[in-house]
Amino acid sequence: MKRMLAALGLTAVVCGACAVPAQAALPVGAAAPDFTVPATLGGHEFSFKLADALKKGPVVLYFYPQAFTGGCTAEAHAFAAAIDQYKAMHATVIGVSHDEIAKLDRFSVSECQSKFPVAADPTLMVAKSYDAKMALVGYAARTSYVIAPDGRVIYAYSNMNPGDHVANTLAAVKAYEAKHG
């Protein structure tokens, strides 16, 4: 009973924090902090380096609270469904959460459908550098950035509802592509 109440209490804290949209603190035009993190694509682990990904085109960097939760699963499915549109514009999509890489190996296969990588940020060091950490709890806030190849933020959006992250980042990448080819 004690465990159940503790779990319900944690759920209430996380859900309560989820009800309030976070604000992306890195403004458009800001330099995106460089990072290297352990990542996985289709269950195959590798080291993801932002600087290397930017050499190929824009990067859609999205932070999410926790793998295998309702909103995070819906968001992963939406990014997987849209991945061909991102790739057509030479954009890289990477999801980042506090989860350990072993959990993300499974998430990358099942929920991301082996279509884009997810990265482990268990200390939330990357999330903090992007001001994408929820206050009071050890989770990333649902925040999406689009970073241009020059390393500058060209779009930022924070909202705990996963519904608009894909459409908004896709529109930002399309606008960048239209302007820069």
- Provide the annotated active-site residues: 72
Q: Domains in the chain, please, with CATH?
A: 2-180 (3.40.30.10)
Cβ count near 132 (within 10 Å): 28
pLDDT computed for residue 40 by the predictor: 98
Q: Within 13 Å and on the Cβ side, how many CA atoms surround 97? A: 25
pLDDT computed for residue 137 by the predictor: 83
pLDDT computed for residue 13 by the predictor: 33
Average pLDDT along the chain, 181 residues, taken 10 residues at a time: 35 36 74 98 98 98 97 98 98 98 98 98 97 89 97 97 97 97 79
- Look up residue 8 and give its amino acid: L
Closest CA to 33 of 141, 153, 159: 153
